[in-house]
Amino acid sequence: MARDRSLSLHAWTLLEFLAEMSGEWGYGYEIIRFSGLQSGTLYPLLIRLEAKGLLQAKWQPPISPGRPPRHAYRLTAAGRALVRNNEAAQRRSPRRLDPVPV
């Protein structure tokens, strides 16, 4: 299957990062810290990808009293399938060989 060209590079970065989390829930700032995406880019992306059915979101209870609950995200089955298909498509793409020196 060909790569979904409607998704931006940032969207793919996010999807691939969440795929590496192997089904664990990820928080916004955690994603920002380890994926390199900025908050201004991330949150609109999360909404858009959730709308497409590639992510699911859930309010998580606070880890300590007095803290507000946080929104956490992880890939849906469709999101995981999309990332797997993209990786497979990239492996099948022909590589450009370096010219052999003479």
Can you tell me which of 23, 40, 94, 99 binds another protein, judged by CB under 8 A?
A: 40
Give CA separation, 98 vs 11, 82, 89, 95, 101, in Å. Answer: 31, 31, 22, 9, 9
Question: Residue 1 interacts with another protein (CB under 8 A)?
Answer: no
Place of tokens 């492996």: 91
Window contacting another protein (CB under 8 A); options: 16-24, 65-73, 77-85, 88-96: 65-73
Window contacting another protein (CB under 8 A); options: 5-13, 24-32, 79-87, 91-99: 24-32
**Residue closer to another protein (CB basis): 16 or 72:** 72
Amino acid in position 96: R
Q: What is the SS3 assignment for 20?
A: helix
